[in-house]
Chain A
Amino acid sequence: MNRTDVGEAITRAHHEQWARVVAALARRFGDLDIAEEAAAEAFATAVARWPADGVPPNPGGWLTTTATRKAIDRIRREHRRDDKQREAQMVHDDDPPEPLGAVDDERLRLIFTCCHPALAMETRVALTLRMVGGLTMPEIARAFLVQETTMAQRITRAKAKIKAAGIPYRVPSAEDLPARVSGVLAVLFLVFNEGYLATGPDSDPVRHDLTAEAIRLTRLVRALLPQDGEVAGLLALMLLTEARRTARVSSTGELVSLDQQDRGAWDAALVAEGHRLVRERLAAGKPPGRYQVLAAINAVHTSARDVRDTDWSQVVALYDQLVRLDPSPIVALNRAVAVAELDGPEVALAAVDRLEGTLAGYHAFHATRADLLRRLGRSQESRAAYDAAIGLAGNTAEIAYLTRRRDQLG
């Protein structure tokens, strides 16, 4: 096996096994810091050893065993309180496994711990991206539009609180579950989004590992709470978005916008499943939450065989509904994109320009402006807006797309 193959095996193991290793260690040692540091050490050991020794037949098992040894070494070195007792427990781990509660998935335990209501919402999301998603600090900071040091402090404080305040490492009991789900959904949606439009200069433009993990975990939550409309809505939204994944990046690694995509390349099975979920929610006749409305918007897009058949008035109507549920500037920006199709780019541009105060640091704001200005023939201003968008964008495929659009301007 050559060096490139080993490198790829390590990257793949990181994508597939990170959360499993962290979750297994967190459960065993009851300490997220130890779990994370030992997992990181195990991956560092893999980088050092696998090129010479070869990739082990079961990389996940190898990593968990190595990380467990690292954790025990660390605890021994630190001479913790109750040292001997803890060590005995760790070395002879033959206690009957704890009952798993309502959800039989180690990673879901980790998510519910990271999404504990005693933590601030933004902290829950950041911690889950770090511990469960295995994202790096710069990736998480970008996803939140904050400084890396701010994010690092937030995560450190959260881990310290989990330890000091005694936040338990478990899936909540059935009675507490519904109240704890909204935070989990927010987290899963952000994990999905980071996978769908990865932000790092060195990462693949689409990280299927993250989108697949977000979908898998959302399916688990849905199995648990089949009557929860927002869980169904979020799953539908993810499926309808994921269905377009392969059509979204060209063979030259460039982002393909929705109107340019080869609709024949969309995953018909995922589209059908997503539509089924949206219809199920409509039939339920209950007022929808934001995920259900977002899923409905995506259902309208994926119902059109050709972009010209898109029912834009319905899309705008759904965005109006969404603005009432979530009056954030990003929703207003997306609404403006639909308004451009219905009422023309001039009306949309006026709406977009009103958002400058809050969204000036967000690449999609400038990319949207650039496109509208281009359609209005204001090439000079459009070029400047493309430059601003390219400067702020993190996704490699999106940068390639924006650069080509800019260079096409007369």
Chain B
Amino acid sequence: MQYLVSVIDDGTGPDTPTEQAAIDAFNDRLRAEGHWVFAGGLGSPEPATVVDNRNGEAFLTDGPFVESKEYMAGFWIIEAADLDKALKLATEGSKACNRKIEVRPFL
């Protein structure tokens, strides 16, 4: 199964060099053990733009679709046999990037 592992940030500060190194090491391990699908970091929500073209006329809104103190700062897409394995990896990922993490299965 594939899981979206989202990194939850509350804007307390940028990644430290230690966190960056830990994330790199964790990524290497994901690749080596065959769990890696994709990963990426995201810019902060402020420059986000919401597009609504449901009525055939694009309506643009400046800012994220939801106002919240916490936001998604990055994610991994991993391949794991089941939720136990995904949670184990997420536990290590949370430590590596020093953030809370949400695990959701792909349909």
Footprint of B on A, CB under 8 Å?
A: 116, 118, 164-168, 172, 176
Contacts and interface: CB of A to CB of B under 8 A. Distances in A.
B73 interface: no
Contacts of A166: 1, 3, 80, 82-83, 86, 105
A168 B87 contact: no
25 contacts: A116-B83, A118-B83, A118-B87, A164-B105, A164-B107, A165-B83, A165-B103, A165-B104, A165-B105, A166-B1, A166-B3, A166-B80, A166-B82, A166-B83, A166-B86, A166-B105, A167-B82, A167-B83, A167-B84, A168-B81, A168-B82, A168-B83, A168-B84, A172-B84, A176-B84
Nearest to A163: B105
A32 to B, nearest CB: 14
Given A118-B87, A166-B80, 13 more contacts: A116-B83, A164-B107, A165-B103, A165-B105, A166-B82, A166-B83, A166-B86, A167-B83, A167-B84, A168-B81, A168-B83, A172-B84, A176-B84
Closest 5 CB pairs of A and B: A168-B82, A166-B83, A166-B82, A166-B1, A167-B83
Contacts of A116: 83
Interface in B50-107: 80-84, 86-87, 103-105, 107
A180 to B, nearest CB: 10
Nearest to A169: B82
Interface residues of B, number: 13
Interface of B: 1, 3, 80-84, 86-87, 103-105, 107
Q: Determine the main DSSP class of A at the interface with B.
A: loop
Contacts of B103: 165
Contacts of B107: 164
Contacts of A172: 84
Nearest to B1: A166
Nearest to B2: A166
A93 B78 CA distance: 31
Contacts of B84: 167-168, 172, 176
**A118, A164, A166 pick with most chain B CB within 10 angstroms:** A166
Contacts of B81: 168
Nearest to A162: B83
Contacts of A118: 83, 87
A370 to B, nearest CB: 48
Nearest to B80: A166
Contacts of A176: 84
Nearest to A167: B83
Contacts of B105: 164-166
B77 to A, nearest CB: 14
Scoring B1, B82, B84 by chain A CB atoms within 10 A of each residue's CB, the highest score goes to B84
A79 B103 CA distance: 29
A119 to B, nearest CB: 11
A365 B82 CA distance: 45
A136 B26 CA distance: 46
